[in-house]
Chain A
Amino acid sequence: MSFLWKIIFRNILRNRRRSLMTGSAVAAGAMAMLLFGGYVGYIFAGLETGSVQQNGHLTVFHKGYFLFGPGNPAGYGIDHYQDVMGLIAGDPVLKPMINVLTPTQSLVGIAGNFSGSVDASKTFLGEGFIPSDRDRMGQWDEFHTGSTKAPEPGMSDADLSRGLVGFGLARMLGLCGPLKLASCPPMPAAQEVASARAGSTVNKDLVNLAQQDNGGRAATTPAVPQLDLLAATAGGTPNVVSLAVAGVERQGVRELDDNFIAMNLGLAQQLVYGRGEHKATGIVLQLKRSEDMPAARAQLAELFKQHGLDLEIKDFGDLNPFYGQVVKMFSGIFLFIAMVMGMIVLFAVVNTMTMNVMERTNEIGTTRAMGVRPGGIRLQFVSEGMLIGVLGTAFGTLVAVVIALSINHAGLTWIPPGNANPVPLRVDMFGKPGLLVGTWITLVLVATFAALIPANRAARLSVVDALRHV
């Protein structure tokens, strides 16, 4: 150990209690930043995982769909989407990046339940997909969040007629009883009458269309509840299909939960395109690694340009603004906490080092008289502050690791905003070298900078005045 560090280390030990208190403030800062940073990191990873499981990393749309298409999904379908998918799947750059490549069909329409005594209808937002592809997408967990999605219940590639509805939509269409849903009140009789009266014309038309679509079969109450779905085809004519409701999929956002219907891609295409050419509103790419997203996006753009395809590419952040908002909000909170902790460390170190300078003024005078330069005095006190910063941050990191491991192994869960199901509660600070390095650099720099203020004062002391100090 060099002579200077020997002096520094012994001076830290000389005022054990004071050094301990200051080191504890630094440790608390490190702990708060690491644990909250780890928690925020896990929230980001969880949100990204949920978004990627649902929407993939990138989605290819017909140009203009993102701005205008949702109001007219049929008009913005991708022509020959299977050829486009073949083109993407066969690209040597994209191929190794892709985990799942699958088409989707969005649609809007009216859903009606006219079985038994129920006579209710409701507008819906529909999504058609290939169930097995969606199941594979649900297993994506690059960040090891532990929140993989269970396969879609009751849906299969083979049975086109089966689908899922949002919990709110099920309630409004009187499906609580048939689906045996807990905490789902049955539709009141008065509301049934009013509903029947108010929507009688539309409902009669819908029933007639449904009966035509079913080949004139009489409406009976089947074992699996049925909904009749009405939508306008690409040609502008109304079309109706029947959906066997296999279950409920709760959505985290009430508006979506009250309107959501998931169905097989084939059924969605049948409803939107009838007997015409089946298109898809989107081609979803789920990549193996999120970090490939910019490269994949660039390659897709190049591919479409080469082949003259009028398509646009959106990532999950574009499709889900909530993700960006949450990231910004938590980043802001993290920054605020980091600043507060930085200020606490700053004042603690300034206070301690100022007291150290005052107590050692005579010693400063002695060593300056012996021939230590002003810069040597400054270096000694700055190094002392830095060492307190390093030791405090090291201790804080150690405690943060223990707490993080305890939380991660406690099996805690929570329901994030926008989610319907609980996910594991974790602190993800181990896979975040940026967080660790950033915390260390920030706190050690703050401690060093804080020490610089009293160190400069010590360096500028007059030797005579310092020697006179009692």
Chain B
Amino acid sequence: MIATLQRAASAKPAPSADSARVAVHLSQVAKTYRAGAIEVPALKAVNLEVPYHRFSTLIGASGSGKTTLLNLIGCIDTPTSGILEVCSQDVTVLDADEIADFRARNIGFIFQSFSLVPVLTAYENVEYPLLLVGVPAGERRKRTLEMLAAVGLVDQAEQRPNELSGGQKQRVAIARALVKRPQIVLADEPTANLDSATGAAILRLMRQVQTESRTTFIFASHDPQLISHADEIFTIRDGEIVEHRTGALQ
């Protein structure tokens, strides 16, 4: 039955002229929420290009629209208008199953509250994304153990999330996001629920993994530590990108 959850991601390539060099391309993207009769604009005509293989950060005050933007890039929300291309794919034309398949293959998520599946062990949580893209059992086991080793949790492989500390949970979440070797990893306030020492350790780990795997990381964060590690810093205010700076590697 798990076969129904496993399938190759579909693709309807419709890249823009220069989208091949960027992981994410947004053109005049707007997102408006409805609260009864009132329309609340969360994003207003955002233009954004996030390059591949970089450690990028969206910064901004609470309610500025960074989580909305991250959700759009992660293909878990749809824009009200505009062009949204992720990994050269116009994701607005994909149906629910196609978009799920696209996420399964191309995007990894790290959530603020870890969001591990509580009935699965650390090993099984990391293994889960590989099942969704139909990786064979032997390869699955090898990659899962490698990823757990990379985040230093081989000894905790058989423990359930409720038996792990906050830092360990976030390490499992990082391993889960990276194990399928996605094009993009999205993280919304990944260190917000951790103490500063653990947050710093997690940040170093993510940076190390990103450097080794050359994965595109995009964060939404307030954390100054995290911002100081970023290659690209996008500042968002009232639903608009107001500043783009290059950071650590520049």
- Judged by DSSP, the binding face of B is helix
Q: List residues 77-136 of chain B with CB under 8 A from any CB of chain A.
A: 77, 96-97, 100-105, 107, 109, 111, 113, 115-120, 124, 127-129, 131-133
In the complex, A379 has a CB within 8 A of chain B: yes
Q: Is the CB of B2 within 8 A of A371?
A: no
Q: Is the CB of B119 within 8 A of A371?
A: no
Q: Is the CB of A7 within 8 A of B117?
A: yes
Contact flags A274-299 to B (C-beta < 8 A → 1, else 0):
00000000000000000000000000
Q: List residues 99-147 of chain A with CB under 8 A from any CB of chain B.
A: none
Q: Is the CB of A10 within 8 A of B74?
A: no
Collect the chain A residues with CB atoms within 8 Å of residue B107's CB. 371
In the complex, A383 has a CB within 8 A of chain B: yes
In the complex, B249 has a CB within 8 A of chain A: no
Interface centre among B1, B5, B102, B103 (most CB of A within 10 A): B5
| Whole-angstrom distance between the Cβ of A21 and the nearest chain B Cβ | 19
Collect the chain A residues with CB atoms within 8 Å of residue B111's CB. 366, 467
> Which of the four size classes fits the interface of chain B?
35 or more
In-complex Cβ contact of A3 among B9, B97, B131 (8 A): B131
In the complex, B76 has a CB within 8 A of chain A: yes
| Whole-angstrom distance between the Cβ of B168 and the nearest chain A Cβ | 17
In the complex, A224 has a CB within 8 A of chain B: no
Residue of A nearest to B102 (CB): A371
In the complex, A373 has a CB within 8 A of chain B: yes
In the complex, B71 has a CB within 8 A of chain A: yes
Q: State the CA gap A4–B3 with chains docked (Å).
A: 9
Are A374 and B120 also in contact (CB < 8 A) when A369-B74, A463-B76, A463-B77 are? no
In the complex, A91 has a CB within 8 A of chain B: no
| Whole-angstrom distance between the Cβ of B140 and the nearest chain A Cβ | 10
Q: Is the CB of A369 within 8 A of B132?
A: no
Collect the chain B residues with CB atoms within 8 Å of residue A376's CB. 4-5
Q: Is the CB of A372 within 8 A of B132?
A: yes
Are A369 and B1 also in contact (CB < 8 A) when A11-B119, A362-B115 are? no
In-complex Cβ contact of A5 among B1, B100, B127 (8 A): B1
Collect the chain B residues with CB atoms within 8 Å of residue A189's CB. none
Q: State the CA gap A2–B2 with chains docked (Å).
A: 7
Q: Is the CB of A370 within 8 A of B119?
A: no
Q: List residues 433-470 of chain A with CB under 8 A from any CB of chain B.
A: 462-464, 467
| Whole-angstrom distance between the Cβ of A237 and the nearest chain B Cβ | 85
| Whole-angstrom distance between the Cβ of B225 and the nearest chain A Cβ | 24
Q: State the CA gap A60–B61 with chains docked (Å).
A: 97
Q: Is the CB of A370 within 8 A of B4?
A: no
Are A369 and B103 also in contact (CB < 8 A) when A376-B4, A463-B76 are? yes
Q: Is the CB of A4 within 8 A of B74?
A: no
Collect the chain B residues with CB atoms within 8 Å of residue A5's CB. 1
Q: Is the CB of A370 within 8 A of B129?
A: yes
In the complex, A375 has a CB within 8 A of chain B: yes
In the complex, A255 has a CB within 8 A of chain B: no
Q: List residues 176-194 of chain B with CB under 8 A from any CB of chain A.
A: 176
Residue of A nearest to B109 (CB): A369
Interface centre among A4, A375, A462, A463 (most CB of B within 10 A): A463
| Whole-angstrom distance between the Cβ of B124 and the nearest chain A Cβ | 8
Q: Is the CB of A374 within 8 A of B97?
A: yes
Residue of B nearest to A366 (CB): B115
| Whole-angstrom distance between the Cβ of A271 and the nearest chain B Cβ | 76
Collect the chain B residues with CB atoms within 8 Å of residue A217's CB. none
Are A4 and B104 also in contact (CB < 8 A) when A363-B118, A370-B128, A467-B111 are? no
In-complex Cβ contact of B100 among A365, A373, A379, A462 (8 A): A373
In the complex, A307 has a CB within 8 A of chain B: no
In-complex Cβ contact of A370 among B1, B9, B103, B118 (8 A): B103
In the complex, A426 has a CB within 8 A of chain B: no
In the complex, A368 has a CB within 8 A of chain B: yes
Are A375 and B4 also in contact (CB < 8 A) when A366-B111, A464-B71 are? yes
Are A372 and B100 also in contact (CB < 8 A) when A4-B5, A5-B1 are? yes
In the complex, A72 has a CB within 8 A of chain B: no
In the complex, A331 has a CB within 8 A of chain B: no
Q: Is the CB of B118 within 8 A of A366?
A: no
In the complex, A367 has a CB within 8 A of chain B: yes
Q: List residues 10-30 of chain A with CB under 8 A from any CB of chain B.
A: 10-11, 14
| Whole-angstrom distance between the Cβ of B99 and the nearest chain A Cβ | 9
Q: Is the CB of B129 within 8 A of A371?
A: yes
Q: Is the CB of A14 within 8 A of B1?
A: no
Are A367 and B117 also in contact (CB < 8 A) when A373-B100, A464-B77 are? yes
| Whole-angstrom distance between the Cβ of A5 and the nearest chain B Cβ | 7
Contact flags A25-56 to B (C-beta < 8 A → 1, else 0):
00000000000000000000000000000000
26 contacts between A and B (CB under 8 A): A2-B1, A3-B127, A3-B128, A4-B5, A7-B117, A7-B119, A10-B120, A363-B118, A367-B128, A369-B109, A370-B103, A370-B104, A370-B176, A371-B100, A371-B102, A371-B104, A372-B5, A373-B4, A373-B97, A373-B101, A375-B4, A376-B5, A379-B1, A379-B5, A464-B71, A467-B111
The 8 closest A-B pairs by CB, nearest first: A371-B104, A10-B119, A463-B76, A366-B115, A376-B5, A373-B100, A371-B103, A4-B2
